[in-house]
Structure 1
């Protein structure tokens, strides 16, 4: 309690023009340093530095740390008792320190105060969600509900982020989001990032950073913002790591090991993983086909079951090598390989206009996949004499191969008998090279100048072939087969400058990107060259009302380039009457993003609110239409993306961290937004009739997420995550609501070196995408899609740390119960 009172006292003192000065009559000197969590080397934000006059203990001065753990303030010369404090951490204390000149205390290490916790009190740890004004940080290691899961499961628990049943990622409801790995685009994510993230293990992730309005330093892509996935890398001296074993139902077997060895000159790190998953899913679509006057023509019912079976391996090897005290060279190699099966069983039942039974078809798609990804990355970091003065150089080279094939059997179960055999081949390859350099120069006391270059070059080739059996021979179906080549060359330059004057701060920047893109549909002899260059300005203004209250106003311009299935005319043939078709002539969309944020901290509560507006030109929208082709007199419906004229998105977001007791933590996120699209879709139907669809639409919806973590008796942790997504109207129908609940329990064993975890994903089996679609004169349908059924996992984690005895002794000799390194 005394620490809490001291912290509150210092926060109140900080709102005045100066702290109370303990020693009077002396000259002012500057006090600097940094407070770090022992064992993780992570900075402690809002830790407290207390200077107590040795002669007059009632007189206090001091400060609190910023988001990077740094403190910087002035005192008068004199003799002080110095304390470095953080709630639920051991205090580091220095008695009767006489200060006559500017003093840098260097790094001060604080460790968790486990000994003071009794009964069911929660052992001190970093919050699962850290809320900062410009971003939110989600610490994966503290989330039990994703044990034995994938990175896609991790993202689905991150505030402001949603992952739909197909794995598509959205930030604040906007799917135009850029995914980074360790701060840069990564070849490890593969060709289809949604599929890749469902294969990589959750236990390889350290934290996830959500940046809703990035500065010019970041890639300009992603109108909705940036999600940065930070992979684990050992930071503690000696040999240390962890092993995670998981078994689940439906079948889910995983093993993941992270091992590193760190000395003063190098850090060897590695991560190995194996997984086998069986993820059963299902879908259903009930359709009423319409005549031109919207009267009923016929009905159909589609029922689908699939069992996605996947076996995969992944490994990462790397070394941080300190060539000199100021120059570090990092090299790493990462690869992932997986093989999968996806038997897809579809039953189609047809009815006439009076809903009298007609006949049933069975379509069985026996799919297999073979994927391989490898990336080599190297980094040079040069630290100059002045703190924060830094130059980094990054290079990464990756190759990806994703080969999918399937054999399709299509037959009537009654009525006119026939048997049709088809097969598909979908071979994808990608080569990607990345070159990047960043330079940071501190100017004056608070100024900072940054500049850099990024070159991203990739070449993708997708060969999609459909063949039908004809008298024992396979005949190519040219209607749905295509060879697509995608080449991308993007060169970018940026610079930005920021400074702070008392309580006011600003950061201004501009980024220039030159894009040279070729989209070549070779089979159809359709060649599209997209060459353009753009300036992307950004600006952030901030004001600190106090150390615990601040506000920011930011602006940035963003771009969203179409890729992958958005461009490929044909990439799927699971259903022959409902087909997705890409558009190789899609243009990029541009978004102007405005964000007004406010952050307030109390002793037990942190609140972050944000009001935002996104104005997008040429936004991507999906439309459905009749293709003109028929299967057994049933029209084939095609879904395809197009560029619409305008999209207006405005919303309000509310994030709260609340720790009512040491044994109970709550994190919540609420996002309300309004999305308005203006545009129309014009085409000529298969009867040569011009058709104009007015796609103007206004939709208001919201989603919320609540995470509760409770420590029960016997130190059993109980975590519950609840997510609800409200209904939303679309230009051609309505997306219905969705609710999901995840539950987990864990218990530390083996003197806290091991952890047993039990988690249930989608407890009530309710995570389904439900859609109503209405196309006048065409079709009225209702569909449900469940990517993966309820999953139950049991995991065992074992942590080991073999520090050298002399290193441990050096760390423990810093003073008090923590660690101080001057």
Structure 2
């Protein structure tokens, strides 16, 4: 590892030395209020014939740097929404002020017709401020309308890439509730990265970076949001209130948040299971038909406090600490199962069992803390970004189970304890080299997790395990703008992970393992007239969550147990993506191949119909291709955002099946999933806004799961705002009007088959009211570290 770090350092130093002899043109681009402008195009033209010499794009601070032997000429500065400006390199003084394009701004205000999305390498940057998207309620509601993203059920996904990680002003978002607390009015732009480069953990398949509006001014400000969510199917109610406060004085900012919530939700499912096993010449089949109701309840309170201090023009430090408390959390479960067991071909061997189970599970969180500290600065031309993160929490669960089998009663109790500790740091250095920016960095995390579980049930052993995982990563990435070629970026990430699993009861189950991997990435983007294009490649991995590695046998219900496997391997994925954009049309395509893919599998646990649910690595590669077309025009007061496309997996499995004469059979998963996501927004006079949305997914295959029904989610929104700058805003939403979001899934393991019919109620009435006073966006610049490890501790 020391040799690798030394080699990277020598490379950086040598490239810096090579670049120092070149003259350059450097400066900052700001708007009329003096605010830095990002993604502004700056082109150097020769004085004689106005020929193109070199170009650059401004960063988050408005800074640009053009390295060229010819450092005199005319600068042409352009950005959407601003008038094109020309400046002489000898007289512009290092600062260019762009003036608003009054005509375009008028269109934004009245019609909302400002182009919202542009391609930037392997990402799509969508402007929110000044468009119809800025009045979309919460950040979560707004993100579902951003090109490249969709809302599936209650979860946001990047098209074809799955669940992303989020950054808000450079700080990694740890709690998904932040997307419901953050308002769309506070957001300046959203960047969707479909093939993250070397600076991101190799497990990250998609990134969404949210940048809030940078407001100026001293004093106190706050915003208060109250939200009520009513389940129209079962009659339950969820509620939350969030208070954000901030105080600014010159270069110092103090901020804090308090959030209280109540959760009450019902899930209705009907799993139907078949399992077969052979004993000698006899084939026995077990048929289980179940009805399961789960009722989750909980209350919680969260808060955070932090500060941000700009020590000098190019030096900023900050710290943030957050705590979450859960009260009265848990669930009540009722299950009724009718089981038939019979030797195939012998009807007189039929055995019938009726089972009714009631379970109460209580959750307790003695503590749950997390924090971040950062330094963001610039020394000469060297950019420095340092983040330090910590996380510590404890979860306790106690269950009471009342079980009746053929009228014979049985009582059981369960006890579970889980503690997590994580410390991580990440350093990124950036330096302008030749025609672009070179970044090198390292990331380290240290994780300790202890799990204990016991249940008073025969045949299920008590488990007590401890996991230690230490990882270190080093990366290098270079991005530049080459004339007539386009924007090019290439990176390489090295990761060393040490995993130590200790079974504190049976040391024979303990193990240690170490992995060393290299993950390359590449992207290219160029513009051909009005068409923007990009290509990207990356290699990623998926590591099992820590609960997947725990060998504890967890009781789910009388016929289902769950356990992990510390011998699970990491999955590896090669991904190739292509993107093209013309005006308001965007085409995305992606191809992936995954080896050792992680999935869920079921095994026959005993001859009484009990199934053991376990994660495993697939022994065949999983291939997938996805294509999505998005249209986001604006016609007067009407702004639709329509996405249609498909994702197709291709995988063959040979399954052990005792019903077959050969003992095996082959299953092919290749049915495409067709998707349509249609969002419509109408901006009306007097600050009224009407919205409708429709999400449709056709049945098809997803990896080794078969989705056997179509899903349709139709919803409507009415919004009305009052006061200056829309300080008071009421938003009313009706979700899943047709109540067609029930999902049916088939899982085939050969000797075991499951048909799962589940319906988590999405038929809801949401009412939210927001008031803002002297609102100002946060200056917090922490980017976070160790996020992949923290995410794997989520369960």
What's the TM-score bracket when you normalise by the shorter of the two chains? Answer: 0.7 to 0.9
Alpha-carbon distance in 1 for matches of 2:492, 2:482: 22
**C-alpha spacing 1:123/1:584, structure 2 compared with 1 (3 Å):** same
- Residue 331 of structure 1 pairs with residue 322 of structure 2: no
Maintained 8 Å contact 1:35/1:47: no
1:382 matches 2:371: no
Q: What does residue 724 of structure 1 align with? A: 696
Query: Cα offset for 1:316?
Result: 2.0
Contact kept? 2:649, 2:703, Cα under 8 Å: no
Distance 1:510 1:802, change over 3 A: closer
1:89-488 matches, within 5 Å, as: 101-106=91-96, 108=98, 110=100, 121-122=110-111, 127=116, 132-136=120-124, 160=148, 171-173=158-160, 179-182=165-168, 189=174, 197=176, 201-203=180-182, 209-222=191-204, 225-228=205-208, 230=210, 235-239=215-219, 240-250=221-231, 251-287=237-273, 297=285, 299-339=287-327, 340-350=329-339, 360-371=354-365, 372-386=367-381, 389-412=382-405, 416-444=406-434, 446-468=435-457, 477=458, 479=460, 481-488=462-469
Report the CA distance between 1:467 and its aligned residue.
Answer: 2.1
CA contact (8 A) 1:77 1:101 kept: no
1:202 and 1:770, CA in 2 relative to 1: closer, same or farther beyond 3 A?
farther
Q: Distance in 2 between matches of 1:491 and 1:280?
A: 42
Matched with 1:543 is 526
Q: Report the Cα offset of residue 125 of structure 1.
A: 8.4
Contact 1:304 1:344 in 2 (8 A): yes
Q: Is the 8 A contact 2:25 2:89 kept in 1?
A: no
Alpha-carbon deviation of 1:352? 7.6
Is the aligned partner of 1:641 residue 2:615?
Answer: yes
Residue 434 of structure 1 deviates from its aligned partner by 0.9
Contact preservation (8 Å) 2:160, 2:626 = no
Q: State the shift of 1:662 in Å.
A: 3.8
d(CA) in 1 for partners of 2:383 and 2:430? 5
Q: How does 1:471-510 map to 2 (within 5 A)?
A: 477=458, 479=460, 481-504=462-485, 505-510=487-492
Alpha-carbon distance change, 145 to 740 in structure 1, aligned in 2, over 3 angstroms: farther
Instruction: Report how far residue 282 of structure 1 moved.
Output: 1.2
Deviation string, structure 1 residues 17-72 (Cα, Å, up to 9, x no partner): xxxxxxxxxxxx98965355979x684757999x9xxxxxxx9x9x9995857789
Partner of 1:787: 760
CA contact (8 A) 1:277 1:310 kept: yes
CA 1:539 to 1:64, structure 2 compared with 1: closer, same or farther past 3 Å?
closer
**Matching residue within 516, 539, 557 for 1:533:** 516
Contact 2:112/2:634 (<8 A) preserved? no
Answer with 642-651 or 613-622: which moved more.
642-651
Structure 2 alignment gaps of length 5 or more: 1-23, 232-236, 777-795
Which moved further from structure 2: 339-348 or 198-207? 198-207
Contact in 1 for aligned 2:119/2:533 (Cα 8 Å) = no
Shift of 1:660: 2.8
Contact 1:379/1:392 (<8 A) preserved: yes
Q: Which moves more between the two structures, 726-735 or 491-500?
A: 726-735
Local SS of the residue matching 1:573: strand
Distance in 1 (alpha carbons) for counterparts of 2:442 and 2:286: 59
Query: Contact between 1:567 and 1:582, CA under 8 Å: does it hold in 2?
Result: yes
Structure 1: segments with no counterpart, 5+ residues: 1-28, 52-58, 190-195, 469-476, 804-822
Q: Which residue of 2 aligns with 1:513?
A: 495
Q: Is the contact made by 2:29 and 2:36 (CA closer than 8 Å) also made in structure 1?
A: no
CA distance in 2, matches of 1:660, 1:647: 43
CA 565–274 in structure 1, closer or farther in 2 if over 3 Å, else same: same
Q: Distance in 2 between matches of 1:523 and 1:164?
A: 42
**653-662 vs 229-238, greater mean Cα deviation:** 229-238
Distance 1:320 1:622 in 2: 44
Partner of 2:565, secondary structure, is coil
Number of the residue aligned with 2:599: 621
In structure 1, C-alpha distance between the alignment counterparts of 2:576 and 2:775, rounded to whole Å = 49
Partner Cα distance (1:139, 1:284) in 2:
44
3-state SS of 1:566 partner: helix
Structure-2 residue corresponding to 1:714? 686
Distance 1:519 1:740, change over 3 A: farther
CA distance in 1: counterparts of 2:115 and 2:216, whole angstroms: 17
TM-score, normalising length from structure 1?
Answer: 0.76
Give me the whole-angstrom Cα distance separating, in 2, the residues matched to 1:270 and 1:434: 23
Q: Which residue pairs with 2:781 in the alignment? A: none
Quote how far apart the aligned CAs of 1:624 are.
2.4
User: What CA distance in whole angstroms lies between the structure 2 residues aligned with 1:540 and 1:75?
Assistant: 29
1:115: Cα distance to partner? Answer: 10
- Mapped to 2, the partners of 1:795 and 1:669 lie a distance apart of 27
Retained in 1: the 8 A contact 2:548–2:565? yes
**Residues 665 and 403 (structure 1), Cα distance of their counterparts in 2 relative to 1, 3 Å cut:** farther
Contact 2:147/2:630, CA 8 A, preserved across alignment: no
Residue of structure 2 in register with 1:765 after alignment: 739
User: Shift of the alpha carbon at 1:747?
Assistant: 0.7
SS of the residue corresponding to residue 338 of structure 2 reads strand
Deviation of the 1:731 alpha carbon: 7.4
Residue in structure 2 matched with residue 744 of structure 1 by the alignment: 717
Counterpart CA distance in 1 for 2:635 and 2:262 is 39
Distance 1:281 1:591 in 2: 33
Q: 2:640 aligns with which of 645, 666, 669?
A: 666
Q: Secondary structure at the match of 2:634?
A: strand
For the residues of structure 2 that align with 1:112 and 1:366, how far apart are their CA atoms? 63
Is this contact kept in 1: 2:251–2:309, CA < 8 A?
A: yes
- Paired residue secondary structure (2:456): strand
SS at match of 1:318: strand
SS of aligned partner of 1:197: coil
Q: Distance in 2 between matches of 1:330 and 1:246?
A: 30
Match of 2:625 among 634, 645, 651: 651
Q: CA deviation at 1:717?
A: 0.9
Distance in 2, matches of 1:123 and 1:455, equals 45
Per-residue deviation, 1:109: 7.0
Secondary structure class of the residue paired with 1:565: helix
CA RMSD of aligned residues (A): 4.6
Q: Which of 584, 588, 600 lines up with 2:566 in the alignment? A: 584
User: 8 Å contact 1:581–1:639 — kept in the other structure?
Assistant: yes
**CA, structure 1 residues 735+562, in 2 after alignment: closer, same or farther (shift >3 Å)?**
same
State how many pairs are aligned. 720
Match of 1:17 in 2: none
CA contact (8 A) 2:602 2:752 kept: no
Q: How far did 1:230 drift?
A: 4.6
Question: Do 1:720 and 1:743's aligned partners in 2 also have CA atoms closer than 8 Å?
Answer: yes
Deviation at 1:98, TM superposition (A): 9.7
